Structure 1
Amino acid sequence: MARALRRLRPGRAPGPEPGPAKSSRGGFDRRLLAPMMLGSALNPVNSSILSVSLVPIGAAFGAPPSQTAWLISALYLATSIGQPVVGRLIDLFGPRRLFLVGTALTGVAGVVGMLAPNLGVLVAARVVLGFGTCSGYPAAMYLIRSEARRTGEESPAGVLTALAVTTQTIAVIGPSLGGLLIAVGGWRATLAVNIPLALVGLYLGIRRLPATRPARAAAERPLAVLDLPGMALFASALVCLLLFLMNPGAGQWYLLVLTLAAASGFARRELRVAQPFIDIRVLGGNMPLLATYARALLTYVVSYAFLYGYTQWLEEGRGLSASQTGLVQLPLFATAIVVSTLTGRRQAVRAKLLVGAVGQIVACAMLLLLQAHSPVWLLLGVVLVLGVPQGLNSLALQNSVYHQADPDRMGSSAGLLRTFGYLGAIVASAANGAFFGQRADTGGLHDLAWLMLAVSVLFLAVTVADRSLRRIGKPQEDPAAGSPAGSAER
């Protein structure tokens, strides 16, 4: 984990001032690891815990899966919008302030969710939770870059692996923790868990995250560099698109029109403004990074369709309790941790993505074999197989963005990775609601599996066609050029 971070060219991003997190040694400051990992884990823990609480929440409020699906989409709608916005703010102003604000919002969401009197208030709490958990991952990626700039050293493969393994570890304990919390305190306890997590996060953020100087332009003209109109148009386009995805149909055609109008206005704005929220010219010329975002969307459709769809089927279609379902999910994430740990030191990503694609295809095909009375060994076999792509794909996508993105926009680039992933999560949530309807039965699971299988095949095709992936992890030909080692052509 303390391996040297790779050399970077000087950037315009805000730099750390001397503070409590500054290490006297030249390597990566290990005091940063705890807040980085906790912040990055806040969103995954709320995703995985919710997977076992959807059924009891639906029973408490008399809501079918098509309505409780909004609990999933509300979180990801807020996070899809908030991740790149907060990431850009981190690029300009540094991570400490944004980390503390986001962590505090997470605690507030825990209180509101714990006391929610109806499904509508609970959905609103999930929206607040989505915005609150936006800062952790972009802040972590920013800190990895800033430490590399401070030390002037080589690749942070160990730190990137630790970050990926942390989120997977949280996903391991999430369903089981959710089942335990439900058994002890009911589904409200799965929201209340955010309160102590937020308190620990605030303590670590105050004690360990370094103070930073804003970028010069941000310090002199903060409103100008924020590009608020661009952010508003981006958010409008995403909201309209995601609302359509949640309830697609001919009667919702106007949402697509509004999406196109907002997206067109956003593109014109970003091409003309001096300090764009998202630099479309740079992003449009970076095809490898765009391909990485596309892969993130596809793999998250499969991952989250499985996480929520398979979990609901285990409870309603197979008849397991919430705690039993959590235990069945354990091998999925345990396998992912082992795979990530064993392969994380290798920066190359192409082989990881290819094996991950094949693993997804096999796991989705196995779902078609399941019936209402399938034996436990088959239920466990499915999650063991899917654990391999879970461990490979998330790590490979994270490393791809680190090497492909503009260092001065690492926060917003990392945020966009999560945005595309959560777009996939919302597609998965909509598919769950569409295929399950009033109940998560076996027929609905099989229909969902066919969709997941098609998406997995597309993921494989996009990966095979992307030759730029071969360059990631190879020695840099011209170190003096200052471009990321192994980065793809822009």
Structure 2
Amino acid sequence: MNARSRWLLISVGLGVLLNPLNSSMIAVAIARLQHVYSLDFTQVSWIIFTFYIASSIAQPVMGKASDLFGRKKIFLTGLAVVSVASLLAPFSPSFGWLIVFRILQAIGTSMMVAVGMAIVRVHVTEKQATALSVLSMFLSGAAAIGPFIGGVLLHWWDWQAIFFVNIPFVVASFLFAWRNIPDDAPPKSTTQGMSLREWGELIDVQGLLFFTVGLVGLLIGLLSATSSGHVSFGIVIVGLLGLVALGFFVRHELKATSPFIPVRSFAKYPAMTWVNVEFILVNLLYYSLFFGFPSYLQMVRHNSEVDTGMLMLSLGFCSLVVSPLTGRWIDKAGPRPALLVSAILMTIGSVWIVTLEESSPVISVCLVLAAFGISNGLNNVGMQAALFKSSPKEMIGVASGLFMTSRYLGTVLSSLLLGIVMGDRLSAEGFRLLGMILAIVALTLVFTSWRRREPEQVEQS
């Protein structure tokens, strides 16, 4: 890999790490926010839900926007949006306003993550799996230090600090990106002279509304039933409206000329579709542990925030160490072996959760985190390599956005699972039940990884 590619990866990496950094710090801060705002576990989970719902909506839009307007412009704009959200969030007058700024933060990070993958795909033409492993090191490194940074900031200051800490990374990424990311002019005839209606059709506003109303309605229905302990007529109506909206969303996307999520591509490229389904399940597993484990450590095992951050380091550290080795492995053997090993490790880790007791030694906790950390390092590179093999090059921006939407849908499902299993307060019994559910999902991935066939690289149609 030449010097130009290395500087490009550093420039992109400093931006994309903002997503896992904020996710990991929030994971440690959930218990504090629950106490500060007097919320139950299900209610405080909305700080996770809203971030990832907004991200799942913004990712395909930003992937499409990058193909139209230029990836560098979208990347730099995303950095500006994140800086505004990070400066305003600490001054939120209520939990509702904090949610608003988290949504803004989600939109900003969405501009960078999917676009960053596309930049690497287009401008790094040799040893792409190795390049992805370098990008994964930024993601894994942020996930590794995020819980520790969050724990230290919460101990010595308060939750506001987890937003201010973004600013140095934003400034550094902006300076590097401005200098090192090449300008790529968008198609000239696509957007000039378009009316407001044509813009709406291009962005697919109707599809966005159906998707948002459907997902939020379904989540409100499920979480309200879980939080209240009973199912009322109003809750049922909200949930059903969400399902109906999602049905209209699928119907609309099949007919739209410029769909928000290209549902028809799922049938045209089945290998790409299966990669996204597996990625949803992978993230359901990983983020159920990622968001559930810090609260388990603080509420059940009564660890301090700093100790929780130190223990969570093993999760990200293992991902960080494994990612570069995985890149070289996949360059030689393809993604299938790495994904199979990852699924087996997640199965072992999930079963291990079921055996944990409040008095279990710290080494048992670290082994669970290490199993999921190594699997995450394998998946970060393996799933992206599988996506690149199964996606046509001319729609890589949209494919990358779809891929990240799958990540966020998996994360939303993980938060929903935690809310249903844990209810108003996380308990040892609920955490063991979570382990049983995760073990079943992980075994499913073992089977699908074993049956996987390596697709040939999809060329332009």
- TM-score, normalised with respect to structure 2: 0.90
Instruction: Say which of 125, 128, 133 aligns to 1:161.
Output: 133
What secondary structure, in the 3-state scheme, does the structure 1 residue paired with 2:110 have? coil
- Matched AA of 2:354: L
Check conservation: 2:318, 2:377, Cα contact below 8 A: yes
Check conservation: 1:76, 1:423, Cα contact below 8 A: yes
What residue in structure 2 maps to residue 70 of structure 1?
46
Shift of 1:298: 0.7
Check conservation: 1:95, 1:139, Cα contact below 8 A: yes
Check conservation: 1:295, 1:459, Cα contact below 8 A: yes
- CA shift in 2, pair 1:57/1:276, >3 Å: closer
Percent of paired sites with the same residue: 29
Instruction: Tell me, in whole angstroms, the C-alpha distance in 2 between the residues paired with 1:74 and 1:236.
Output: 13
Check conservation: 1:99, 1:136, Cα contact below 8 A: yes
- Matched AA of 2:133: T
Instruction: Tell me, in whole angstroms, the C-alpha distance in 2 between the residues paired with 1:296 and 1:259.
Output: 23
Instruction: Tell me, in whole angstroms, the C-alpha distance in 2 between the residues paired with 1:324 and 1:58.
Output: 19
Instruction: Tell me, in whole angstroms, the C-alpha distance in 2 between the residues paired with 1:279 and 1:301.
Output: 23
Matched, 1:105 2:105: no
Matched, 1:239 2:221: no
Instruction: Say which of 367, 372, 378 aligns to 1:392.
Output: 378
- CA shift in 2, pair 1:267/1:380, >3 Å: closer
- CA shift in 2, pair 1:154/1:244, >3 Å: farther
The answer to which of 390-399 and 166-175 deviates more is 390-399
Matched, 1:229 2:198: no
Q: Which runs of 5+ in 1 are unaligned?
A: 3-26, 477-481, 485-489
Check conservation: 1:41, 1:167, Cα contact below 8 A: yes
The CA deviation string for residues 331-360 of structure 1, in whole angstroms up to 9 with x for no partner, is 222112222221212231111111111111
Check conservation: 2:137, 2:323, Cα contact below 8 A: yes
Check conservation: 2:345, 2:372, Cα contact below 8 A: yes
- Matched AA of 2:380: S
Shift of 1:439: 2.6
- Matched AA of 2:182: P
- CA shift in 2, pair 1:246/1:411, >3 Å: farther
Check conservation: 1:76, 1:425, Cα contact below 8 A: yes
Check conservation: 1:81, 1:238, Cα contact below 8 A: no
Check conservation: 2:393, 2:459, Cα contact below 8 A: no
What residue in structure 1 maps to residue 459 of structure 2?
483
What residue in structure 2 maps to residue 479 of structure 1?
none
Instruction: Say which of 449, 452, 455 aligns to 1:466.
Output: 452
What residue in structure 2 maps to residue 361 of structure 1?
347
1:15-414 alignment, distance < 5 Å: 29-148=5-124, 153-220=125-192, 223=199, 225-244=202-221, 246-247=223-224, 251=232, 252-345=235-328, 346-347=330-331, 348-414=334-400
What secondary structure, in the 3-state scheme, does the structure 2 residue paired with 1:293 have? helix
- Matched AA of 1:186: D
- Matched AA of 2:88: V
- TM-score, normalised with respect to structure 1: 0.85
- CA shift in 2, pair 1:276/1:187, >3 Å: closer
- Matched AA of 1:239: V
Matched, 1:417 2:403: yes
The CA deviation string for residues 305-354 of structure 1, in whole angstroms up to 9 with x for no partner, is 10111111111100100110111111222112222221212231111111
Instruction: Tell me, in whole angstroms, the C-alpha distance in 2 between the residues paired with 1:308 and 1:218.
Output: 42
Number of aligned pairs? 447
- CA shift in 2, pair 1:177/1:349, >3 Å: same
- Matched AA of 1:296: F
Check conservation: 1:45, 1:174, Cα contact below 8 A: yes
- CA shift in 2, pair 1:284/1:295, >3 Å: same
Instruction: Tell me, in whole angstroms, the C-alpha distance in 2 between the residues paired with 1:437 and 1:110.
Output: 30
